[in-house]
Amino acid sequence: MSTETKLATFAGGCFWCMVGPFEELDGVHSITAGYTGGHTENPTYEEVCSDTTGHLEAVQMEYDPEKTSYDALLRIFWRQIDPTDTGGQFNDRGESYQTAVFYHDEEQKQKAEQSRKELDENGPFQSPVITPILPASAFYKAEEHHQDYHRKNRMHYQLYKRGSGRAGFIQTYWGEE
């Protein structure tokens, strides 16, 4: 068994919707909802949503690369978002809901760039894939009530995921929810 873990960080719009798809993957040890990519230290949810901090809602996970690959994490990420949308994700609009891959090393950067290129060339989208690939920066854990929201508030989360358009988008483009 490996003792070395790595970090992966993805911004996919509302962080509530980004935890569940990764948590059942063998080798993912923890997933934290939070904020990254901006200029404000220790931002609050309200500050991030005001689009004045530069931060995106994101998830950061610790994973065992011997049990799951970064490529597998990227495949899951791309199937949770609309990588062609510059204004946010689904009904969530604004800077804080934009998408990004935040790489932690050169290998992640190369894999992310390659997967984005393949998705752009061979994926189901008519518009170009514009999700940026950026160096990881300070990651700030979101408030506790945002952690594992999909489990703590199951009914509200399910209604939100459907109502926001995310579930329908995933079904339309990938044939799964």
Edge-to-edge strand list for the sheet holding 56-63: 133-135, 99-103, 6-12, 56-63, 28-36, 139-141
* CATH architecture of the domain with range 6-174: 2-Layer Sandwich (3.30)
Question: Quick one: pLDDT at residue 3?
Answer: 72
Question: Quick one: pLDDT at residue 1?
Answer: 44
Question: Quick one: pLDDT at residue 14?
Answer: 95
Q: Per-residue pLDDT tens, the chain, 177 aa: give them.
A: 447 999 999 999 999 999 999 998 999 999 999 999 999 999 999 999 999 999 999 999 999 999 999 999 999 999 999 999 999 999 999 999 999 999 999 999 999 999 999 999 999 999 999 999 999 999 999 999 999 999 998 999 999 999 999 999 999 999 865
Question: Quick one: pLDDT at residue 24?
Answer: 85
C-alpha to C-alpha distance for 164 and 117, rounded to whole angstroms: 27
Question: Quick one: pLDDT at residue 145?
Answer: 93
H helix runs in the chain, sequence order: 16-23, 45-49, 70-78, 106-122, 149-152, 154-163, 166-174
Cα torsion for 17, 138, 87, 85, to the nearest 10°?
-70
Catalytic positions, written as ranges: 14
Question: Quick one: pLDDT at residue 46?
Answer: 96
C-alpha to C-alpha distance for 31 and 18, rounded to whole angstroms: 9
Other Cβ atoms within 10 Å of 159 Cβ, number: 11
